[in-house]
């Protein structure tokens, strides 16, 4: 299948040390407070940079913290209001002030026999509560009820609410939405047991948690008005789901040439009209083909041409641009 080609236009290029490894992690890029952030780790330092709203630049500003556990795996970072930082590990949730001093720390149960599980955290859209997914309590003589999502007072660390999730020993990820919505998306990846997606809202009466999507193995991109694009981990299909609209699904075999599948693990909205996906012959390919799809029908519109071979990682930014990287250099692109 041959689609019309559109030439990508380079808007900005900037070195971001550690970005190649960062984009392999669950917190490598984050959508918080309607802004995108890059989280990198290098030589014992955590660096968080906000993607610039100026399309001629990549990162607006960067803040650094000493990594409290540089040799630990699975720690998940999130920027907070006022320049603070939250870190979720398998054993604790910790909040640091912008100058690196400790604000509060909450210890919790670890997953004792699940090395692949990992916690995550994010502020609620109002910026007053920290949401954190973690292992649930173990009670002697009783079966494990499931992992939990807790809501903390962001200023004090007081536990405000808790909800038992339908997921067990999962690797968690939080993403916000690009518009002013009260909920955040929580993704729980459980390996061979699939992936569950939840919409989490903190209310005066507690935590409202509801499942979303209809597939069990998914990578999720978020768009305006609560739209989600869900990519099968095996690359076989895409689904677009949104409250109040009919679900749309396309299979790779029906829209991609040869044996190509959807790859890259980061499908997403370039803007309200277009979704960017990456295709390749296998998930772990080093190079891929980038396609722009209609954001409502998921039908391919154009193939993106770059000045050089493109990798399988692209981060759409909902503003008409997207990011790729060449080694440790991040590039920002657009296309008509």
Residue 31 is predicted with a pLDDT of 95
**182: CB partners within 8 A, 6+ apart:** 124, 125, 126, 201
Any bridge partners for residue 233, and if so which?
A: none
For the chain (length 336 residues), average pLDDT per consecutive 10?
91 95 92 95 93 96 85 83 95 95 95 90 96 90 88 97 94 94 94 89 93 80 92 90 91 91 88 95 86 96 90 92 94 95
Element holding 45 (H helix, E strand)? strand 45-51
CB 89 within 8 A of CB 71: no
Distance CA 266, CA 233 (A): 10
Burial class (CB in 10 A: 0-12, 13-18, 19+), 333: buried
Residue 73 is predicted with a pLDDT of 64
At residue 278, φ and ψ (nearest 5 deg) are: -115, 135
What are the Cα distances from residue 112, in Å, to 91, 120, 166, 316? 10, 17, 19, 36
Residue 133 is predicted with a pLDDT of 98
Task: Give the three-state DSSP class for 22.
Answer: helix
Distance CA 69, CA 105 (A): 14
| Gyration radius of the chain over CA positions | 19
Residue 157 is predicted with a pLDDT of 97
Residues in the chain: 336
Residue 168 CB neighbours (<10 A) = 18
Q: What is the value of pTM for the model shown?
A: 0.93
């Amino acid at each position: 299948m041959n689609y019309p080609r559109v030439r990508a236009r380079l808007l900005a290029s900037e070195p971001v040390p550690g970005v190649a490894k960062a984009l392999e992690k669950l917190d490598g890029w984050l959508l918080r407070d309607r802004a995108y952030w890059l989280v990198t780790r290098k030589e014992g330092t955590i660096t968080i940079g906000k993607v610039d709203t100026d399309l001629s630049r990549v990162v607006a500003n960067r803040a650094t913290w000493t990594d409290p556990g540089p040799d630990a795996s699975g720690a998940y970072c999130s920027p907070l209001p006022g320049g603070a930082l939250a870190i979720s590990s398998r054993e604790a949730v910790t909040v640091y002030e912008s100058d690196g001093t400790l604000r509060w720390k909450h210890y919790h149960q670890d997953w004792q026999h699940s090395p692949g599980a990992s916690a995550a955290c994010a502020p609620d859209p109002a910026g007053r509560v920290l949401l954190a997914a973690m292992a649930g309590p173990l009670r002697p003589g009783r079966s494990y009820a499931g992992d939990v999502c807790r809501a903390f007072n962001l200023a004090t660390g007081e536990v405000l609410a808790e909800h038992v999730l339908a997921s067990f020993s999962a690797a968690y990820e939080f993403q916000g939405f690009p518009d002013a919505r009260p909920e955040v998306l929580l993704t729980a990846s459980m390996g061979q047991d699939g992936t569950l997606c939840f919409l989490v809202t903190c209310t005066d009466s507690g935590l409202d948690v509801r499942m979303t999507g209809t597939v069990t193995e998914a990578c999720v991109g978020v768009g305006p008005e609560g739209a989600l694009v869900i990519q099968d981990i095996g690359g076989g299909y895409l689904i677009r789901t949104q409250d109040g609209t009919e679900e749309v699904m396309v299979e790779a075999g029906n829209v991609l040439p040869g044996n190509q599948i959807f790859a890259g693990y980061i499908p997403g909205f370039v803007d309200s009209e277009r979704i960017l996906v990456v295709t390749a012959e296998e998930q772990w390919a080093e190079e891929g083909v980038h396609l722009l799809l209609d954001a409502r029908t998921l039908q391919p519109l154009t193939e993106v041409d770059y000045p050089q071979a493109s990798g399988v990682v692209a981060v759409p930014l909902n503003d008409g641009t997207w990011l790729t990287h060449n080694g440790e250099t991040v590039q920002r692109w657009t296309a008509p």
